[in-house]
Structure 1
């Protein structure tokens, strides 16, 4: 065992993994095992690291402190760690991502599209969760982060990394689309890329007052939607223009959303809670296709 600063790193990593597994809300031993096996510090660059300490709900302009040393125990906890402090890009809160992962529950053999891969840490987690025979297609718009992700993900099976804007590029047919940037309205082709029963989870930010994760599942004739936990992320380039909103919900009405429609398939009706150019959100429920896995 490696002892750093009087603390056994393996014990800290195991405790961290147990907490992440608990945060998924699932009784699935894969999560603890994978969070323990994938070393977070390997995706953060050399320490000491910059950790965000300003409350994450209030602003993208956070205050940071530097860890006392390059001891990995400092980042094996539920903290935001800067990847590019000047741009406000961080490796996200592990417990929030664990909750995201528990909500979509990736399975072996699934095809995952990861939008906003950063340096690849959660891409690696997704790749492990989709073993055996899974594929993860990661997209990263920042050229420097893309280069780091490409190198970091070499040891992981079934992973490809693309440098580019996922709001413009075609996505592969996917069982899961996992988005790590705040979205005003998901592009229509993201929804169309979902296979029957496929899930998409993204941080929805249609206004300054509304910021939470949204889970969308492709059904027989429509897409079911479920508002989840609060989630504040850096805006997604190409999908974060508030001018897209023709009708914008308040926090109370946003929580009533139960389905999403493509405007090319169906015009907004009286059930519309939020309306955008290509998609609209309704408070009327639909029945999704059961996910097999």
Structure 2
């Protein structure tokens, strides 16, 4: 192949956006547009970049942004194991929770703001993203990267201890043993949480929680493993831990103050529990 026959960067970005649209399993054309509009290299720092492969990192041969338009983890802080997550996984997350114009989003764990920017695009016009990042250096990078995004506010704080506004969507980019009750309480009717549920050392699943009139519905989507969410990743708060099949069977979440665990419980924590029974049963 000659240099002249190689796809242009615009063509590579365009194909990447099309792949993300398919991975989202959504008919919303705005998802493809958002992935096409937001340039990943603008959020990754100066190249060459460190790409995670298994337990190792490999440096890209050059600063060509084409290396970033693959389904790869890109190091943001290699010493802490913090990466920009796999695009195909996030595309599936976004398709599952379907952010809409005018909605309020709380993103927990911004990294350097790449997926924050995509969320910002999807809730425009009229929506707002409250981006919460506990790491001060990453929060500062996110502020710089999103300085031109008027519908984003960046907060450096522990999202498990922060007083959160009412919201339509909580988008969590860190592994959670059990969601804090405060996150559930700020969901508006129809509001969603998507989070990586680290049920135990062997079970990690993306879970969507939806606030319904009868309570909180829940469904498992796919395997997902993230670095632990500070303040929500203590395994000792679990008094009943599910195996893989049990974890995938969840259909609802209950606060203990509203309903004590019963024979449908597959996972039990200090303040809440997961049930394999649907709401209304």
Output one character per residue of 1:129-167: Cα deviation in whole Å (capped at 9) or x when no partner: 001100100100011000000111111131001001001
Q: Which runs of 5 or more structure 1 residues have no equivalent in the other structure?
A: 55-61, 288-293
1:218 maps to: 211
What is the rounded CA distance, in whole Å, between the counterparts of 2:200 and 2:267 in structure 1?
A: 11
What is the rounded CA distance, in whole Å, between the counterparts of 2:33 and 2:45 in structure 1?
A: 23
2:142 maps to: 149
1:110 maps to: 103
CA pair 4-250 structure 1, distance change in 2 beyond 3 A: farther
1:81 maps to: 74
Using the TM superposition, give the Cα deviation of residue 5 of structure 1 relative to its aligned residue in structure 2, in angstroms: 10
What is the rounded CA distance, in whole Å, between the counterparts of 1:230 and 1:4 in structure 2?
A: 40
What is the rounded CA distance, in whole Å, between the counterparts of 1:268 and 1:165 in structure 2?
A: 29
What is the rounded CA distance, in whole Å, between the counterparts of 2:106 and 2:56 in structure 1?
A: 31
2:237 is aligned with 1:236: no
How big is the alpha-carbon RMSD for the aligned residues of Structure 1 and Structure 2? 1.4
What is the rounded CA distance, in whole Å, between the counterparts of 1:220 and 1:17 in structure 2?
A: 36
Q: 2:199, 2:247 within 8 Å by CA — same for their partners in 1?
A: no
1:98 maps to: 91
After TM superposition, the runs of 4+ consecutive aligned structure 1 residues lying more than 2 A away are 3-7
Q: 1:51, 1:67 within 8 Å by CA — same for their partners in 2?
A: yes
2:129 is aligned with 1:136: yes
Q: Give the structure-1-normalised TM-score.
A: 0.93
Q: 1:249, 1:273 within 8 Å by CA — same for their partners in 2?
A: yes
How many residues were matched structurally? 278
Using the TM superposition, give the Cα deviation of residue 255 of structure 1 relative to its aligned residue in structure 2, in angstroms: 1.2
CA pair 5-151 structure 1, distance change in 2 beyond 3 A: farther
Using the TM superposition, give the Cα deviation of residue 6 of structure 1 relative to its aligned residue in structure 2, in angstroms: 4.9
SS in 2 for 1:207: coil
What is the rounded CA distance, in whole Å, between the counterparts of 1:265 and 1:230 in structure 2?
A: 30
Q: Give the structure-2-normalised TM-score.
A: 0.96
Output one character per residue of 1:46-83: Cα deviation in whole Å (capped at 9) or x when no partner: 000000111xxxxxxx2010000111001011110000
What is the rounded CA distance, in whole Å, between the counterparts of 1:242 and 1:35 in structure 2?
A: 35
2:44 maps to: 44
Q: Which runs of 5 or more structure 2 residues have no equivalent in the other structure?
A: none
Output one character per residue of 1:107-146: Cα deviation in whole Å (capped at 9) or x when no partner: 0000000000110100100000001100100100011000
2:120 maps to: 127
